[in-house]
Structure 1
Amino acid sequence: MASTATPLDSRRENHWEWQYLDLMRRIWEQGDERIDRTGVGTRAVFGAQIRFDLSAGAMPLVTTKRVYWKTAAREFLWFLTGETNIRPLVQQGVKIWNEWPHANYVKQTDDSLSVEEFAARIAEDEAFAAQWGDLGPVYGKQWVDWPTYEPAGEGLFRPGPGINQVQQVVDSLRTNPGSRRHIVEGWNVAELDRMALPPCHKTYQFHVGAGRLNCLLYQRSCDVALGLPFNLFGAALFTRMLAQQCDLEPGELVWMGGDTHLYLNHGALVEAQLAREPSGGGNLVIKRRPESMFDYRIEDFEVTDYAPQSHIAAPVAV
């Protein structure tokens, strides 16, 4: 019997990004519309999945618009330092966290300083950055320095040594690869109210099968237009780095979203992106193997064969 597959069907089967575009289309056309925390409003679905094979250096880089992968990589390396102040990011030209401390600064001071002026002052003035640039105990703090407490007598407790979840996962992958406890968790209930933004990409679980390292990322809240392309790259980078450190081959990345949404003011981006077709891809080369997960530098990463279509701008909802 002759095949009934169309050229479009063939392209869909061969390019992972159709999963992303189909999810975007489903949300925009069928999602539940409601007012959200930011007041902007969203269309959302609950429960979504994207799968990507990381073998042969492949990375889940969206091609229907440009993803600034170095920005995502710099953010991920910042997480691994345990740092929670935006100053190191700002000094590298990374702007993705600026809006949250800026909004807090304006609220607290009634100063009309623009976000660009605020970021410049963060970069130049260490004391100003110390006062206004901290985000609270966000991602990196939980990943590498999860707080513990120990008895201090008569019902009192004092801070104990922090838990480095990332190093624990490295150790467990090396010594007990069959474990079902290779998890890095960001959702510390006791500290959520101190965070500028509670973790969205909250739970990473790793799994070893046939010498391949697989990753499942559960994201409680996902901005599909702006956040998800970064989240996919970050999770893939995490997996690639762990695989190198643990003498494993990269396997499959499975992304799962809880509240998976598009902001109503992203309509122009959505329409423009859905009018495009994915093509090509991107591969990541890690140029050296550092002594630990915490010794990588941005210069260690090189992306090849990535030729995306033009950038599409859209506002960030804070």
Structure 2
Amino acid sequence: MATAPNLSAASRQPHWEWQYLDLMRQIWEHGDERVDRTGVGTRSVFGTQIRFDLAGGAMPLVTTKRIYWKTAAREFLWFLTGETNIRPLVLQGVKIWNEWPHANYVKATGDAISVEVFAERIAEDTDFAAQWGDLGPVYGKQWVDWPVYVPVGGGLYKRDTGINQVARVVDSLRHNPGSRRHIVEGWNVAELDQMSLPPCHKTYQFHVGNGRLNCALYQRSCDVALGLPFNLFGAALFTRMLAQQCDLEPGELVWMGGDTHLYLNHAELVEAQLARVPAGQPVMSIARRPDSIFGYTIDDFAVLDYAPQAHISAPVAV
């Protein structure tokens, strides 16, 4: 069994990342081993939590392996566009969504090209990208264009202007900060079957207290080794952007997991990471305040004092 370094509670520094490593250890040593959708198999626990204080520019970046935070930031900015095609990500060198449309293409055509060649065709051929690069109405589509239908008579409905949940949250935070309805929801039951992957980080709720903006993220399904570090960073980034737009200070990030798991083929990653000790306190600065939360670019963000240990690779389960 994998174990973290043998450090007593008294000798540990109060580094937030022990929450992450302790969760990883709990799953690996005590999780229920089960068959999952991908066929790879997981060890899983249910109902988990990590808390992180965003004060002073702090960011929940894992330090026991390298997290490519610019990739995570580019993905999050892509969500805010409402885009569902991977081509804008591919053109920025972001590969994290390539496997799903690639698998659909191979299954539909029998053309067993590599995911790398598939991504090259997505980048070079707009018609190919339009046909094969779309993920369905995932994340950003629900966040900024939740579908609305209005009756037109005779039992018929027509599509109306969609709901921009993110814009509504900005407005409600500015004008009704005490509301308990500052929510961005991705779980549109009517459209789940059209999505390449139903939303894992599905519900964001925001809370204002003493001039600080707090965020609670509920994640129905969480790949702790590969996904969770990105999800923590993305939620923290979202909170910082909203706080800046609404003249608030970033507060606490509370992450909650439903099915919280490690894949069985991530054994080497788990063993290596649990043998490391977290160190460092990375912080983020934002260079400017755009007119809208939809106006940020990757160049607006800088992470300082991030000196992670070496990257640990592991396969993605599709």
TM range (shorter): over 0.9
1: CA distance, partners of 2:11 / 2:297:
36
SS in 1 for 2:295: coil
Q: CA contact under 8 A between 1:52 and 1:60: conserved in structure 2?
A: yes
Offset from partner CA, 1:57-98 (integer Å, 9 cap, x none): 000000000000000000000000000000000000000000
TM-score (norm. length: structure 2): 0.97
SS at 1:162 equivalent = strand
> Gaps (5+ residues) in structure 2?
1-5
Where does residue 163 of structure 2 map in the other structure? 163
Secondary structure at the aligned position of 1:80 is classed as: helix
Alpha-carbon distance in 1 for matches of 2:46, 2:194: 27
Give the Å deviation of 1:13.
5.0
Match of 2:3 in 1: none
Q: 2-side partners of 1:7 and 1:222: how far apart?
A: 27
SS of 2:191 mapped into structure 1: helix
* 2:33 alignment counterpart: 33
How far, CA to CA, are the matches of 1:159 and 1:13 in structure 2? 55
Shift of 1:7: 7.0
Which secondary structure does the structure 2 equivalent of 1:308 belong to?
Answer: coil
User: Residues 131-178 of structure 1, C-alpha deviation per residue, up to 9 Å, x if partnerless?
Assistant: 000000000000000000011111100001100000000000000000
Q: Tell me by how many angstroms 1:22 deviates.
A: 0.1
The aligned counterpart of 1:215 is: 215
Question: 2:312 aligns to what?
Answer: 312
Sequence identity, in percent? 81
> Which secondary structure state, in structure 2, belongs to the residue aligned with residue 142 of structure 1?
helix
Note the C-alpha offset of 1:8.
4.3
Contact 1:80 1:140 in 2 (8 A): yes
Number of aligned residue pairs: give it: 313
Give the aligned residue type for 2:301: F
Secondary structure class of the residue paired with 1:9: coil
Query: TM-score, normalised to structure 1's length?
Result: 0.97
**Structure 2 matches for 1:131-142, cutoff 5 A?**
131-142=131-142
Match of 1:93 in 2: 93
Retained in 2: the 8 A contact 1:206–1:214? yes
Separation in 1, partners of 2:316, 2:195: 18
Inter-partner Cα distance in structure 2 for 1:41 and 1:185: 28
Root mean square deviation of aligned Cα: 1.0
Letter in 2 for 1:234: G
2:261 match: 261
Aligned partner of 1:82 in structure 2 is 82
Aligned to 1:291: 291
Query: What does residue 145 of structure 1 align with?
Result: 145
Separation in structure 1 between the aligned mates of residue 290 and residue 149 of structure 2, nearest angstrom: 32
CA separation of 1:7 and 1:264: change in aligned 2, threshold 3 A:
closer
Inter-partner Cα distance in structure 2 for 1:63 and 1:178: 35
Counterpart CA distance in 2 for 1:142 and 1:61 is 27
Q: Distance in 2 between matches of 1:255 and 1:14?
A: 18
The structural deviation recorded for 1:267 is 0.2
Partner of 2:17: 17
| Post-superposition offset of 1:112 | 1.2
3-state SS of paired residue (2:184): strand
Q: Which runs of 4+ in 1 moved over 3 A?
A: 10-13
Query: Given the alignment of the two structures, is residue 192 of structure 1 paired with residue 184 of structure 2, yes or no?
Result: no
How far apart in 2 are the matches of 1:277 and 1:13?
10
Q: How many Å apart are 1:11 and its aligned residue?
A: 5.4
Asked if the contact 1:62–1:281 (Cα under 8 Å) also holds between the matched residues in 2, the reply is no
